Amino acid sequence: MTATTTTTAEESRTGVLLDGTGRAREIREQAAADAAELIARGVPPRLAVVVATEDEGAGWYVRSIAGAARRVGIACDVVELGPRASADDLRRTLAGLSTDDTVHGIILQTPLPDGVRMEELAAEIAPEKDVDGVNPLSAGRLAAGLPAFPPATAAAVMELLDHHGVALDGRNAVVVGRSQVVGKPTAQLLLQRDATVSICHRHTTDLAAHTRAADVLVVAVGRIGLVSAEHVGDGAIVIDVGTNTDADGRLVGDVDTSDVARRAGGVTPVPGGVGPVTTALLLAHTVRSAQAHA
């Protein structure tokens, strides 16, 4: 399988890096144009991010979303409830934002306070404002092939595959990871595009035997170095969703990129692959929600 990217001689020899920053920029530019139009029509798009944690990584992520939103003309309210917020506090806040006509997108940031589960709260987010696709209704609609916001990360995987011209119809796609927010919805989206889809997880025996059969391999686990060249078939396209911090404090994925690049037809870098596209899509989804209400 080939990917339509411009490659240097070095990259051609070692495999192709499938960049996400270019597609992310295009999505942000379109969101900015759409946001300007909405503002001119008197419907300024607005995103609310509900935070109930002091986790540093989450704080960094929320600041980056808020900054990106404001740069494209989307107002962003960060609603800080603190790490001692109860499930009821969170429920009330989400219900209030869901009925606030000036709010078009709602994100509930993880981690949540001890003892509070996402599954309990996600249903409080109005489906039409559920820009990260966490409400079970959104997941059900996605599975049924009905319009819904997919989780932004799953949508980002598809954006990257399309942007790099990766064919899916009839191809073997293997997704490693089966979380509600990444693995399962990514598998659904691949299935909708007529790929033959397998899902691997912690109980999968002989992971490498499954992943080596993939034309398209999506890895969404959260474990450094889980996938190396021995897990990848010749010419396969590898999408690395994982975000981990290594011993030197650097952001790395689940895939040993330089090893895998010896065999793969393409591999997404971390950082600079799925992450920026995910953030851009959260903004695009918010604009789309505002357009539906304009």
Q: Are strands 251-252 and 244-245 parallel, antiparallel or unpaired?
A: antiparallel
Find all residues with CB under 8 Å of 70, minimum gap 6, and list them: 76
Residue type (1 letter), 228: S
- How many residues of this chain interact with ligand NAP, rule: CB under 6 A? 26
Min dist. Cβ of residue 201 to ligand NAP (A): 4
Asked if 183 touches ligand NAP (CB under 6 A), the answer is yes
Contact 226, 242 (CB under 8 A): yes
Asked if 201 touches ligand NAP (CB under 6 A), the answer is yes
Q: Which stretch binds ligand NAP (CB under 6 A): 132-140, 179-187, 231-239, 258-266?
A: 179-187
Spell out, one character per residue from 203 to 222, where the chain touches ligand NAP: x when CB under 6 A holds, - when not. Answer: xx--x------------xxx
Give all strands (DSSP E) within 71-219, no chain letters: 75-80, 105-108, 172-176, 196-200, 216-219
Asked if 185 touches ligand NAP (CB under 6 A), the answer is no
Q: Which stretch binds ligand NAP (CB under 6 A): 22-30, 85-93, 158-166, 199-207?
A: 199-207
Min dist. Cβ of residue 127 to ligand NAP (A): 20
Spell out, one character per residue from 43 to 72, where the chain touches ligand NAP: x when CB under 6 A holds, - when not. Answer: ------------------------------
Asked if 200 touches ligand NAP (CB under 6 A), the answer is yes
Does residue 271 have a cis peptide bond before it, meaning omega lies within 30 degrees of 0? Answer: yes
Among 13, 71, 223, 262, binds ligand NAP (CB under 6 A): 223
Q: Which is nearer to ligand NAP, 148 or 221 (CB)?
A: 221
Contact 224, 255 (CB under 8 A): no
Burial class from Cβ neighbours inside 10 Å (0-12, 13-18, 19+) for residue 43 reads middle
Tell me how far apart the alpha carbons of residues 77 and 74 are, in angstroms, rounded to a whole number: 10
Contact 33, 286 (CB under 8 A): no
Spell out, one character per residue from 238 to 277, where the chain touches ligand NAP: x when CB under 6 A holds, - when not. Answer: ---xxxx-----------------------------xx--
Q: Which is nearer to ligand NAP, 38 or 53 (CB)?
A: 53
Burial 185-215 (b: 16+ CB within 10 A, else e): bbbbbbeebebbbbbbeeebeebeebbbebb
Residues in contact with ligand NAP by CB under 6 A are 153, 176-179, 181-183, 200-204, 207, 220-223, 226, 241-244, 274-275, 278
